A and B are shown apart, each in its own frame.
Chain A
Amino acid sequence: MKRKLLVIFFLTVIIATVGFFAVQQEAPVDFSTDVKPILNKHCISCHGGVKKNGGFSLLFENEAFAKAESGKPAIVRGDAEHSEFIKRLTSDDPELRMPYNAPMLNNSEIAILKRWVNEGAKWGEHWAYTVPTDVDVPKPFSLARLIGWQSESLTNDIDYFIQHKLNQKGLSFSAVADRETLLRRLYLDLIGLPPSLQETRAFVNDKRDDAYQRRVDSLLSLPQYGEKWASWWLDMARYADTKGYEKDGYRQIWAYRDWVIKALNQDMPFDQFTIEQLAGDLLPDPTKDQLIATAFHRNTMNNDEGGTDSEEFRVAAVLDRVNTTYQVWLSTTFECVQCHSHTYDPFKFDEYYKSVAFFNNTRDEDTEGDHPKLRFYTAEEEQHIDSIKYWLTHSGSANLVKSADLFLHTLEPKIHAHYSDKLVNGALYDTKWLGIRHGGSARLRDVSLTDKKQFYMNFWTDVGGGTLEIRKGSVQGDLLARVNIPATKGRQVIVSPLAAHAGVHDLYLVFKNPSIPAEQAVCMIEWFAFLEAFPMSGAGSDQAKVQRAFLQVVNSHAESVPVMIENPQDMQRKTFIFERGNRLTPGTEVQPMVPETLNDFPKNAPANRLGFAQWIVSKDNPLTARTLVNRVWAQLFGRGLVEPLGDMGTQSTPPIHRELLDYLSFNLMHKHNWHIKSLIREILLSSTYRQSSSLNNEDVAKDPENYYLSRGPRFRLSAEQIRDQALAVSGLLSKKMYGPSVMPHQPDGVWMTVYSGASWVTSTGEDQYRRGVYTFLKRTSPYPSFITFDASSREVCLVDRIRTNTPLQALTTLNDPVYLEAAKQLATLMIAEGKGNVASCIEAGYRHAMLKDPIPQKITALQKLHTEALDNFSKNPKEAAKFIGVDPATLKREELVSRAAYMLVANAILNLDEFLTKS
């Protein structure tokens, strides 16, 4: 042993000496790490993307070295003395001295800028915009390791990176957390639920070397893993059960939530996970699941209020998709660029709209119906569809089969009523539905009629006998169709043949029904569609029969989920720059393209959302893998390796563990092939993760916030976890997965929204005790206890939940009926297991919650509560009955009092800091 120490001593001396000389040879100033933070802090708000005072900007290299208003460049490379940029920092004239009207830069800042200019003022790219490379693991040379001896504190490469920084800071790893705490941490992190007592005991007694690793692997394969990690992704996807804005009506989109859970459980590689969500509809012959995945971007809000301009909110949704995509995958605050070039990061104004162009060609138009939607048919209906497709395959063309299939499953492409204009004697009712009176008309402009020989219309009316004439070019133009309008029961789709007319035309719709009162509309219309003709005859069956079956399927009341569907060629939208970010002042037209600073758009990728998604998950993209690694890390450690989670670029804090971030990011792409589970596994197996989270005073002084990770993570559980855990330890939790969202008990009067008749109908049976991920989320009025614990209202993308600590949280876990019910169940377990001994009962309760034995002081405190409760309830047995919620006649007095006292102790246990915290 002594000899080993001696070897280590000499090695240390050698390393220290090498290190000393390395430091002596001063490295040149680095633009990204040394200079750019100073510029951002002091200069760029007046000399950047928004303002360019004095004609001088420090945002882009060409601007910084260009001539300023003075006619000379402010920075002379290699010559600080003659650079106005440097001279102004120390000028005696307050009118000249920079930063203007602000304190002078400190000496070290000025020294850095001076050195930078003298060294040639080399511009550099921020590390976040260069592709992560394979980083060398900082393994110190160790003879000990050569002979197979390894320090206990190091398990995998992650630990070497952490140790390297700890050494620099004079810190060291904490001991491994005790087994009970470690297992609870692991369970909460992987499946969001605590282990059972049995599982904990088994782990404590499992002496195998790989006992821990076995737990990691088996937890990763549980279906609850997907439920836990889904909450993280759904915050970013802004998934909710309502549409948002004022009306905030119901949106059936839970199929997307289930898709996320399944994809995570299957460990779908992140590149595929990305492509399916951003562009699943553009994949060749997309599966239903791939279409459901695109609901990611149908979680944008939809404004159903009367009088709203659908185009305004369609554009708002498209911009939200762009901003969200950049935020979720690239940690970039791209929304800044909507109005001006980015203040800090190298993104130009027009590049924002070039990205918008990728997203600006989907069929959704902020309609009340939330179209387009993927329709789910019954097996019988699917059979009809198959036979229709069979007939079309053998009688028509492959294209026809494709377009018929698309129409049957999505009712697209359709033209919404709000698209109509030039209304005569009619109106767009509630700015949604077209209602024209007898003799009135409306126009549909620029309809492509090439190959279109069928006219479909979704409408309703109480009175039949009306007609709709479709005329070309004017109300007196060629008659293309005369449609008889029957009375309907609710909405109905009808079809009419359309006279053949190639090309793009304005269509005039003339409505007639002399039998109705003058003020009444002939009918109300939601949408129109123009389809290719079915063949006149075909294999085995006749055209009329197929047409009838087709219409029947279209008219069926299918369940559905909103999805992305791209505009067909003849309905493409152009994209324009919005001057100052205002859609009402469009500027020049732009084509889809990605920002210059980032990786090139992949060769051969299509210039649409699919190509954009491929660009995001290209291994040349510098931000995607880093973003994912950083956010997974934050889920486990409570904080990312780079902060803030929403901004990786010049505004992020210089990361302490940048090499580790790059190492993990490179491995994620090249070793783990984008498998998130492999990444999580690697992190969880590190010794860094397994450390105890207890603070010692020395650590606190050196690193109060634990940035260097000399101890394990310790932070409050998420809103969902807190509820799930209380249900789990009391035995109430339902394991039921998937399906429509549920409505557990919430206080009366929480839902009070304008105009919508929606109400909270408390779920029954096990649906009251489902995991939080299945709780109904109404954006304007989310489940109150979740909001209290900082869950998102999911109106917009959220990458980082804040963690507050408020009295309202205390009131929730103390008094919310769900926690009282959990306390009641836990008390039952306590009484059963304690067998009449008070201390044993309390210990049992604590053990169920914390999975370890309590220290005596804690038992004393809880026992005191028990004594006081017992005393109090003995005097008021009726109060005891009220507390447990039973009829006092049904139980003996002692029983009543005893149960109530344990229930209050259980209530206290479920409120302990350690219970609400992952340690």
Chain B
Amino acid sequence: MKDLSKLLNEAQQQQLHAVTRRHFLKECVAGIGSIALGGLLGNCGGGVQRADGAFDLNALNPLVPKSPHFPGKAKSVIYLHMAGAPSQLELFDYKPALHKLHNQPCPESLLAGKKFAFIRGVPKMLGPQATFAQYGQSGAWVSDHLPHFSKVVDEVSFLKAVHTDQFNHGPAQLFMHTGNARLGRPSIGSWVTYGLGSENSNLPGFVVLTSGGKTPDAGKSVWGSGFLPSVYQGVQCRSKGDPVLYIADPDGIGRDLKRSAIDAINEVNKEEYKTFKDPETLSRIAQYEMAYKMQVAVPEVMDIAKEPAYIHELYGTQPGKESFANNCLLARKLVEQGVRFVQLFDWGWDSHGTNPTDSIDLGFRNKCREIDRPMTALIMDLKQRGLLDETLVVWGGEFGRTPMQENRDNSDMPFLGRDHHTDAYTIWMAGGGIRNGVSYGETDEIGFTGVSGRASVHDVHATMLHLLGFDHEKFTYEFQGRPFRLTDVEGNLIQAIV
């Protein structure tokens, strides 16, 4: 009988649905992780109240650094997402055969059973709208749209046959970032921050930066924490206005007065704690302290004006603007400061050909010009600071573009454009344990479908988690009565590039 009640008690303890800060506290103090991670590092061993009666605020932080399943090569991630989906056929996936088929009707065999967002009837093939050459020791194919990037190709591994199953932006972006096309799952940045914590207690562990004038189509869910506690959701820092909402002190309040106010609040809260002994009160004290520190740390790290001239030259940055270049530099600064996951979104890659800006020959070329120098600079800058080895850089869109020219509503478009394409697109990765100069996966002669080395979105996730030290099949979170993973029930590590 005694055994039974003990058993039940144990079962109960383990099944308690862990969602509140109370849980973090318990996890932190008692070391009962809801995920089977290794030992908890940092300040978690001790209690919250030190022997001298003072409060140890670090012990209350749910973002303390944690160890993964095994030592990972990458410590942080910078994910560059080109929202709208850039054309692989004008950048990395060189298809001379497509030149020859240019303007010819698309073979029916390619269209059978396929669904496209806008293509109707029989479209014409569209030859590559760029000139290609091979670069570096690896001989990687890169188009003339990316003259800078062609110099760092030996640092990079390409996945040439990535595929997805979503052909609309919103669901495809959700799939790319949460492993599921529907809403409600945590983003990869949330998973990583949940699993590893953050190295800097003055900054959020997961930061999001957007450029291109708009947020991604799927909205903030692509950096949401889903069913994970909201402390792991991405914090969007804006390059215009306050970098974090409400981070600026009100007009008329300086740092010293804010300090006084926080001191007074925390002093009263400590009295409250003495009466109620509620651990949440201690958490609140810690969070107010952190908020105060963030108010300085975030604007400081978000200010690029003080960077030396050669850095601005390298990235092509202009302080005060919302640009991909500024965001690349910020990403480097954030990672340098110990931020775990930096997610960039650059909007404006949806090259349908409805107008000059979204045409594959004009607008696309301009977008490439905007990213070429900064993303190259990011890799070079991380390398010269010795950060590239431990920083995984990922570049890609939510799907690819068709080898056919778009013919919306069954008529030619006014400008050259390509439709959404799910069967094959290119993602590249660099640093953080990625092998140098590998090109993995191949598409057919016209770049329609992967013929070898196909990689699914889940495979990409499994590989990213592996580099960070996680077995993606064991990295789970209990929700609604079952363990959830980023890779759901799929995903294989892409051995060729790690």
| A positions within 8 Å CB-CB of B | 23, 26, 33-34, 37, 41, 106, 108-109, 111-112, 244-246, 248, 303, 305-309, 316, 333, 336, 343-344, 427, 429, 435, 519, 643-644, 646-647, 649, 651-654, 693-697, 700, 704-705, 714-716, 747-750, 752-754, 779-781, 784-785, 788, 790, 793, 795-796, 800, 802-812, 814-817, 820, 855, 857-858, 861-862, 864-865, 868-869, 872, 876, 879-885, 900, 904-905, 907-908, 911-914, 916-917, 919
Q: 15 pairs across A/B with beta carbons < 8 Å?
A: A246-B169, A336-B482, A647-B481, A747-B242, A754-B214, A780-B221, A804-B229, A804-B231, A805-B287, A812-B246, A815-B248, A858-B268, A865-B260, A883-B250, A885-B251
Distance in angstroms from B236 CB to nearest chain A CB is 10
B445 within 8 A of A: no
Distance in angstroms from B367 CB to nearest chain A CB is 16
| B positions within 8 Å CB-CB of A | 1, 3-4, 6-8, 11-12, 14-17, 19-22, 26, 115-118, 120, 167-170, 182-184, 210, 213-221, 224, 229-231, 235, 238, 240-242, 244-254, 256-258, 260-261, 263-265, 267-269, 271-273, 275-278, 280-281, 283-285, 287-288, 290-291, 294-295, 347, 409-411, 420, 480-482
Is A807 in contact with B294, judged by CB distance below 8 angstroms? yes
Distance in angstroms from B217 CB to nearest chain A CB is 4
Is B8 in contact with A858, judged by CB distance below 8 angstroms? no
A883 in complex: contacting residue of B6, B230, B244, B253, CB < 8 Å: B253
- With A307-B117, A919-B276 as given contacts, are A802 and B19 in contact (CB-CB < 8 Å)? yes
Is A807 in contact with B291, judged by CB distance below 8 angstroms? yes
Chain B residues closer than 8 Å to A907, beta-carbon distance: 261
B244 in complex: contacting residue of A106, A811, A857, CB < 8 Å: A811
- With A427-B409, A806-B231 as given contacts, are A865 and B264 in contact (CB-CB < 8 Å)? yes
Inter-chain pairs besides A802-B229, A811-B291, A815-B248, 10 sampled, C-beta below 8 Å: A33-B8, A305-B169, A714-B276, A780-B220, A795-B221, A804-B20, A857-B271, A862-B268, A869-B257, A913-B272
Is B256 in contact with A872, judged by CB distance below 8 angstroms? yes
Interface centre among A111, A704, A752 (most CB of B within 10 A): A752
- With A806-B231, A865-B260, A912-B265 as given contacts, are A307 and B118 in contact (CB-CB < 8 Å)? yes
Is A810 in contact with B288, judged by CB distance below 8 angstroms? yes
B21 in complex: contacting residue of A106, A694, A697, A805, CB < 8 Å: A805
- What is the bound-complex CA distance between A919 and B8, given in angstroms? 31
Closest A-B pairs by Cβ, 5 of them: A780-B219, A883-B252, A651-B481, A307-B117, A882-B252
- With A806-B231, A880-B252 as given contacts, are A305 and B168 in contact (CB-CB < 8 Å)? yes
A750 in complex: contacting residue of B4, B231, B245, CB < 8 Å: B245
Distance in angstroms from A904 CB to nearest chain B CB is 6
B246 in complex: contacting residue of A752, A815, A905, CB < 8 Å: A815
Chain A residues closer than 8 Å to B240, beta-carbon distance: 749
Is B248 in contact with A806, judged by CB distance below 8 angstroms? no
Question: Residue of B at shortest CB range from A816?
Answer: B246
Chain B residues closer than 8 Å to A308, beta-carbon distance: 168
- What is the bound-complex CA distance between A334 and B26, given in angstroms? 31
Chain A residues closer than 8 Å to B285, beta-carbon distance: 913
- With A427-B409, A651-B481, A814-B291 as given contacts, are A912 and B268 in contact (CB-CB < 8 Å)? yes
Chain B residues closer than 8 Å to A306, beta-carbon distance: 117-118
- With A644-B480, A806-B287, A811-B291 as given contacts, are A654 and B252 in contact (CB-CB < 8 Å)? no
- What is the bound-complex CA distance between A765 and B78, given in angstroms? 45
Is A309 in contact with B276, judged by CB distance below 8 angstroms? no
Chain B residues closer than 8 Å to A861, beta-carbon distance: 263-264, 267-268, 271
Question: Residue of B at shortest CB range from A883?
Answer: B252
A34 in complex: contacting residue of B4, B26, B215, CB < 8 Å: B4
- With A805-B284, A858-B271 as given contacts, are A644 and B481 in contact (CB-CB < 8 Å)? yes
Is B17 in contact with A643, judged by CB distance below 8 angstroms? yes
Interface centre among A705, A715, A808, A884 (most CB of B within 10 A): A808
Is B20 in contact with A749, judged by CB distance below 8 angstroms? no
Chain B residues closer than 8 Å to A880, beta-carbon distance: 252
- What is the bound-complex CA distance between A147 and B420, given in angstroms? 82
- What is the bound-complex CA distance between A336 and B484, given in angstroms? 12
- What is the bound-complex CA distance between A914 and B275, given in angstroms? 11
Is B170 in contact with A246, judged by CB distance below 8 angstroms? yes
Question: Residue of B at shortest CB range from A327?
Answer: B480
Is A872 in contact with B254, judged by CB distance below 8 angstroms? yes
B264 in complex: contacting residue of A303, A750, A862, CB < 8 Å: A862
Distance in angstroms from B456 CB to nearest chain A CB is 16
- With A644-B481, A805-B287 as given contacts, are A811 and B219 in contact (CB-CB < 8 Å)? no
Question: Residue of B at shortest CB range from A521?
Answer: B409
Distance in angstroms from A317 CB to nearest chain B CB is 12
- What is the bound-complex CA distance between A811 and B290, given in angstroms? 10
Question: Residue of B at shortest CB range from A798?
Answer: B184
- What is the bound-complex CA distance between A702 and B224, given in angstroms? 37
B170 in complex: contacting residue of A112, A305, A785, A911, CB < 8 Å: A305
Distance in angstroms from A450 CB to nearest chain B CB is 34
- What is the bound-complex CA distance between A884 and B482, given in angstroms? 52
B241 in complex: contacting residue of A748, A795, A808, CB < 8 Å: A748
Question: Residue of B at shortest CB range from A879?
Answer: B252
- What is the bound-complex CA distance between A585 and B112, given in angstroms? 17
Is A795 in contact with B277, judged by CB distance below 8 angstroms? no
B287 in complex: contacting residue of A781, A802, A809, CB < 8 Å: A809
Is B6 in contact with A693, judged by CB distance below 8 angstroms? no
Is B271 in contact with A811, judged by CB distance below 8 angstroms? no
- With A333-B481, A865-B261 as given contacts, are A519 and B268 in contact (CB-CB < 8 Å)? no
- What is the bound-complex CA distance between A427 and B246, given in angstroms? 48
Is B11 in contact with A808, judged by CB distance below 8 angstroms? no
Is A803 in contact with B20, judged by CB distance below 8 angstroms? yes
Distance in angstroms from A722 CB to nearest chain B CB is 13
Is A917 in contact with B268, judged by CB distance below 8 angstroms? no
Question: Residue of B at shortest CB range from A860?
Answer: B267
Chain B residues closer than 8 Å to A651, beta-carbon distance: 15, 481-482
Chain B residues closer than 8 Å to A653, beta-carbon distance: 12, 15-17
- With A749-B241, A805-B287 as given contacts, are A904 and B253 in contact (CB-CB < 8 Å)? yes
Chain A residues closer than 8 Å to B8, beta-carbon distance: 33-34, 37, 654
Chain A residues closer than 8 Å to B26, beta-carbon distance: 704
Is B1 in contact with A26, judged by CB distance below 8 angstroms? yes
Question: Residue of B at shortest CB range from A817?
Answer: B250
- With A306-B118, A805-B283 as given contacts, are A108 and B3 in contact (CB-CB < 8 Å)? yes
Chain B residues closer than 8 Å to A911, beta-carbon distance: 261, 265, 288
Is A815 in contact with B265, judged by CB distance below 8 angstroms? no
Is A913 in contact with B287, judged by CB distance below 8 angstroms? no
B272 in complex: contacting residue of A643, A784, A884, A912, CB < 8 Å: A912
Distance in angstroms from A7 CB to nearest chain B CB is 30
Distance in angstroms from B18 CB to nearest chain A CB is 10
Distance in angstroms from B304 CB to nearest chain A CB is 19
Is B19 in contact with A803, judged by CB distance below 8 angstroms? yes
Is B169 in contact with A872, judged by CB distance below 8 angstroms? no
Chain A residues closer than 8 Å to B254, beta-carbon distance: 872, 879
- What is the bound-complex CA distance between A519 and B409, given in angstroms? 11
Chain B residues closer than 8 Å to A885, beta-carbon distance: 251
Chain A residues closer than 8 Å to B482, beta-carbon distance: 333, 336, 343-344, 651
Chain B residues closer than 8 Å to A644, beta-carbon distance: 17, 480-481
Chain B residues closer than 8 Å to A33, beta-carbon distance: 8
Is B219 in contact with A646, judged by CB distance below 8 angstroms? no
Chain A residues closer than 8 Å to B115, beta-carbon distance: 309
Chain A residues closer than 8 Å to B16, beta-carbon distance: 643, 653, 705
Is A811 in contact with B231, judged by CB distance below 8 angstroms? no
B250 in complex: contacting residue of A111, A820, A917, CB < 8 Å: A820
Question: Residue of A at shortest CB range from B256?
Answer: A872
Distance in angstroms from A350 CB to nearest chain B CB is 21
Question: Residue of B at shortest CB range from A863?
Answer: B264
- What is the bound-complex CA distance between A72 and B206, given in angstroms? 54
Is A811 in contact with B294, judged by CB distance below 8 angstroms? yes
Distance in angstroms from A756 CB to nearest chain B CB is 10
Question: Residue of B at shortest CB range from A780?
Answer: B219
Distance in angstroms from A714 CB to nearest chain B CB is 6
